[in-house]
Structure 1
Amino acid sequence: MQLLRLGAPGAERPAVRTDDGRLLDLSPVTNDIDGAFLAGGGIATAREAVASDRLSPIDDPGDGSGLRVGPPIARPGAVLCIGQNYAAHAAESGDPPPKTPILFFKHPNTVVGPYDDVVVPRGATRTDWEVELGVVIGKTARYLESPEVALEHVAGYVVSNDVSERAFQIEQSGGQWSKGKCAETFNPLGPWLVPANEVEPQKLRLASSVNGEVRQDSTTADMVFDVAYLVWHLSQYLVLDPGDLINTGTPQGVALSGRFPYLSSGDVMELEIDGLGRQRQRLVDA
């Protein structure tokens, strides 16, 4: 089952794609796919509504060729990001693998749809891509006892693009990374949310390309800290709320490595993760 949101920005309506490929209107079940829906057992309710055949079909492919596909969750309360969580990416950045998770934040308004344009900020010179496994929280997590219970607090998984402006991030940072992470449109998300019990998060291939040329091709098995550890670890420092998004880090193959040119207006990024779908964005100038 895949949960998605269709329509213009701010006017998306919830939908569900069934295992046999039908696209159904989820509006009878919820007004939106948000923290309240996830915390209130919304995924189970959606499954029941599909099984009981009480949802109407939507005459749209849901792939961006018809109605706009929005981010699969409504604006999250927090977007938490893990830096250098693949050893090879840390190495191409000139650093050893971290001994503890590196945390930074993106502004929630960076989250846009999987096919929306990405805006290159004014003054940008080193805009970069990052395919990442996104983790959506479904149940409040605070001071979790162990990583073993952490995945019980995950609602599902998404494809996330942690777009970065490296000059802002590194040269103009003042010691933090968020200046290079928070420009508008800098977190395309989706196309859909897949429920957690349908995904093995450490067995996923993830890949990216720019203008049709492969940039990243790796697997979540290469994470330094796995999803369960990250959710547990973060819960020791902050409260994770339903609907929050965790970007779990990117593998090697970004422009920061020096092996590829940075992005510019007109370039096209494509990103995918096994079972979670494929997204595509064109870059435009602010």
Structure 2
Amino acid sequence: MLWGVSGPLFLLDYVSAVAVALAIAVAVRELTGARARGAEPDPVELAYLTDRAGLACQVGMAALHRAGVVRPGELATLTVDGPPPVRSPHLVRALHAALRRPQTWAGVLADPQVGRALRRLVARLLRDGWLLTPAQRRRVALGTLPLFAVAAVGLTRIVDSAVEGRDAGGPASVVGLLLCCVATALGGWWLSEVPETGAAARRLLRRLRRRHAELDPQRRPAWSEHGTDELLTAMALYGPRPLLAVAPRLGALVGIDADRTRPDPQRTLARR
């Protein structure tokens, strides 16, 4: 059987195999997308890396607000009454163009120009290695197969022992092996959920959060003492709460949920 070894010895070998399989899965995950090229992402692109299209558009609206060109209208609409900021990112200009006539936030997000700007942003992040390509994401998913294979071996030993009446060890060994199999399968399932962001992007976000820790909304910074760049950076790294603090009505109109204003660091799986 899988055989020919005692229950405690098999369990020890099984745990060793799990450690190797886990190391493979984590290594593939951390090495895929480990290098990026090109310029460091701007705040709008950082926002996309943090919490995808919704946060990127909210950061773009914050840029328009700081430039003094966006204002709330009637019936929960938004509009602009001036030119976009000089040297604005393409998404900010697209949002400005969408608001040349009053629009609800849902209408802004559905605007074709905004959609094209988002696709252009994603293409740039993919090209420079900040987002993973479909091939890279498949590679990360395949890296978890050894974990499922090891779990299958453990379950096969338990089932074979039960069906054939063979000795798989004492109750403690059998229960321990069963728990290890379940934990291995769950670990493989969790790791098979592949992030969109590459390892380089995750490192960048961690580094910038350490560098700009004073902008964390939990520290209650005085936004009146900070400029536009700091406000946009804070939103890009920590979520849209700063916009609620400086412009509550605008924040509500652009869909910021006061009960969920900080992106989960593990929300690397979100897809547009």
TM-score, with structure 2 as normaliser: 0.21
Question: Of Structure 1 and Structure 2, which has the larger fraction of its residues in helix?
Answer: 2
More strand by share: 1
If you compute each CA radius of gyration, which structure gives the higher value, 1 or 2?
2
Q: Please report the TM-score for the alignment, with normalisation by the length of structure 1.
A: 0.21
